Amino acid sequence: MPPWIVIVKYLLLIIALFFFTAGTLGVLRFPDLYSRLHALTKCDNLGLGFVVAAIAIDAADGWLAVKLILLWFLALASSATACYLVARSGLRAGRDPWEKKA
Amino acid sequence: MNDPILIDFLLAAGLVLLAGFSLRVVDLFTGVVTFIIFGLIMSVAWVRLQAPDLALAEAAIGSGITGALFLGAIRRLEESTPGSTTRPEYYSPVQRELYVVGVAGMSLALYLLGSALVPPLLEGPAGLAEPVSEAVGTAGARNPVTAIILNMRGYDTMLELVVLLLAWSGVCVLQGDLGRTNILPATGELAVLGAFVRFLRHPGILMAGYLIWVGGDEPGGAFQAGAMLGGVGALGLMAGGPTRPLYSGPGVRPVLIAGVAAFLLAGLSSIGTGGMFLEYRGEHAKALLLVIEIFSTLSIGLVLTLLFAACTFAPDPGRGAPARGGHS
């Protein structure tokens, strides 16, 4: 494997780690359901996306890379749907969005 | 695997912690969510133990379908007896912290002990691995797990399908025959979920077929494929999909028993060709196992979907168990 691939792979993984860390911090620290969901989707979408990109560039063959990217699309679709459903049921249960106290 | 690493330690400690939390929470919803996370971590642990078959089954059945059933059950429980799904906290914060520290300490001790003990243990007798790998050649499946589940221990697997049937009969006895009542469709506002289900149902069904086929050689098989079908069915129900033709149609009962029937017929046919009940050898073994797997998958998928429906949707009020009447 040429060295530049290894460097790119680790760069992608570091970017992924950044998004996972930021998303996790957001889930733990943000004040209400909706902003926590917003943070959580960063893990699913960008974090997982960069992990998939990192594994795909050094995949044994092209098909494996295609499968990995399909997996990411699947996760994108389900995370978007799940996020919408959670937010919707939160709104219906009467959870008000957080507002900054004056 | 001779060389335990930090991630195994984290997995093991996390599993014990999650198991404890899922039992000790103050409300059942949190408990179930913790249980689902436990299942997902458990499937990663199975992957680390090089048991991808179990990992698939754990993620699909243990975590996915069971989690959905539990969540539906909680909703029904809360609707019928409000307040019954929470209880007062009876552990003090100090006790909870002691628990976390205790588990972490014990896991670390076991980890250190294990790294010393595991390599010698691995060199011991190999158990049944050798006779199994010898018999796999004639068992109709190159994946030893599938060969064991469907051929060498076919009796157990058939009885597992019977257990699923019994579970469904129990549900029918308790709350009437859902197969013949109109399962309430979700309100028509779930456009996003509907689009998601339309996007996912065909790949889901295709994936189930792939899991059956690939189960002969690689991780996969009827239970994973059936769980996949059950998941597609449950999603369709949540999105208010066309329930009536699927759940009150004349084909429901034949499909429910198809798995057990295929097992019995294939088992009897092996007696006819001079073998024992449920013993498949030689050139027809692969075809027989495939037929059993296809019908078992359909049965498992349908039972899981129906169980989900029974947990999630209230039965038609006029059709409870006492009013069930005399249909067979």
Q: Which residues of A touch B199 (CB under 8 A)?
A: 77
3-class secondary structure per residue, B207-265: HHHHHHHHCCCCCCCHHHHHHHHHHHHHHHHHCCCCHHHHHHCCCHHHHHHHHHHHHHH
Distance from CA of A84 to the nearest CA of B (A): 8
Question: What interface predicted TM-score (ipTM) does this complex get?
Answer: 0.80
Q: Which residues of A touch B196 (CB under 8 A)?
A: 77-78, 81
Render pLDDT for A21-33 as a digit per residue (tens, 0 to 9): 999 999 999 999 9
Distance, in Å, from the CA atom of B220 to the CA atom of B214, rounded to the nearest integer, reads 6
> Inter-axis angle of helices A62-92 and A48-57, to 10 degrees?
180
Nearest to B295 by CA among B248, B249, B255: B255
Distances in Å between the alpha carbon of B104 and those of A70, B26, B118, B123?
Answer: 37, 22, 20, 29
Q: Is B286 exposed, middle or buried (0-12, 13-18, 19+ CB in 10 A)?
A: middle
Q: Which residues of B touch A84 (CB under 8 A)?
A: 192
CA dihedral (B252, B253, B255, B259) in degrees, to 10, reads 150
- Best residue of A81, A83, A84, A92 to probe chain B, by most B CBs closer than 10 Å: A81
Answer whether residue A3 shows pLDDT above 70: yes
Answer whether residue B274 shows pLDDT above 80: no
B320: how many CB neighbours lie within 10 A of its CB?
Answer: 13
Structure tokens at A3: 């060295």
Q: Which residues of A touch B29 (CB under 8 A)?
A: none
Q: Which residues of A touch B192 (CB under 8 A)?
A: 81, 84-85
Which residue matches tokens 């733990």?
A: A28
Render pLDDT for B41-59 as a digit per residue (tens, 0 to 9): 999 999 988 888 888 888 8
pLDDT at B43: 94
Distance from CA of B71 to the nearest CA of A (A): 14
Inter-chain residue contact B200 with A84, CB threshold 8 Å? no
Q: Which residues of B touch A85 (CB under 8 A)?
A: 192-193
Query: What's the average model confidence in pLDDT over B157-164?
Result: 89
B171: how many CB neighbours lie within 10 A of its CB?
Answer: 20
Distance, in Å, from the CA atom of B76 to the CA atom of B323, rounded to the nearest integer, reads 21
A85 touches chain B (CB under 8 A): yes
pLDDT at B21: 84
Q: Is B122 exposed, middle or buried (0-12, 13-18, 19+ CB in 10 A)?
A: exposed
Distance, in Å, from the CA atom of B58 to the CA atom of B152, rounded to the nearest integer, reads 22
Distance from CA of A99 to the nearest CA of B (A): 26
Structure tokens at B59: 């993620």
Q: Which residues of B touch A77 (CB under 8 A)?
A: 196, 199-200
Q: Return phi, psi of residue B86, to 5°.
A: -125, 160
Distance of CA B309 to the CA centre of its chain: 16
Distances in Å between the alpha carbon of A95 and those of A32, A100, B31?
Answer: 9, 15, 22
Structure tokens at B105: 């300490």
Distance from CA of B29 to the nearest CA of A (A): 14
Provide the CB-side half-sphere exposure for A101 (13 A, CA): 1
Answer whether residue B242 shows pLDDT above 90: no
Residue in chain A lying closest to B189 (CA): A88
Q: Which residues of A touch B193 (CB under 8 A)?
A: 81, 85
3-class secondary structure per residue, B41-102: HHHHHHHHCCCHHHHHHHHHHHHHHHHHHHHHHHHHHHHHCCCCCECCCCCCHHHHHHHHHH
Render pLDDT for B275-315 as a digit per residue (tens, 0 to 9): 777 777 767 778 888 888 899 999 999 998 888 887 776 55
A84 touches chain B (CB under 8 A): yes
Distance from CA of B196 to the nearest CA of A (A): 7
Render pLDDT for B63-75 as a digit per residue (tens, 0 to 9): 888 898 888 888 8
Distances in Å between the alpha carbon of B47 and those of B39, B40, B43, B203, B222?
Answer: 12, 11, 6, 24, 19
Residue in chain B lying closest to A76 (CA): B196
Inter-chain residue contact B192 with A84, CB threshold 8 Å? yes
Distance, in Å, from the CA atom of B317 to the CA atom of B314, rounded to the nearest integer, reads 8
B111 touches chain A (CB under 8 A): no
Residue B183 gets the label, from left (phi > 0), alpha (psi -120 to 50) or beta, of: beta
- Best residue of B33, B192, B202, B207 to probe chain A, by most A CBs closer than 10 Å: B192
Distance from CA of A102 to the nearest CA of B (A): 33
The percent of residues in chain B predicted with pLDDT above 70, rounded, is 83
Residue in chain A lying closest to B192 (CA): A81
Distances in Å between the alpha carbon of A64 and those of A7, A60, B79, B117?
Answer: 20, 7, 47, 37
Answer whether residue B319 shows pLDDT above 50: no
B214 touches chain A (CB under 8 A): no
B196 touches chain A (CB under 8 A): yes
Render pLDDT for B119-160 as a digit per residue (tens, 0 to 9): 666 666 667 777 777 777 777 777 777 778 777 778 888 888
How many residues does this entry show for chain B? 328
Distance of CA B235 to the CA centre of its chain: 16
**pTM attached to this predicted model:** 0.80
Which residue matches tokens 């699309």?
A: A73
Residue B220 gets the label, from left (phi > 0), alpha (psi -120 to 50) or beta, of: left
Distance, in Å, from the CA atom of A47 to the CA atom of A49, rounded to the nearest integer, reads 5
A77 touches chain B (CB under 8 A): yes
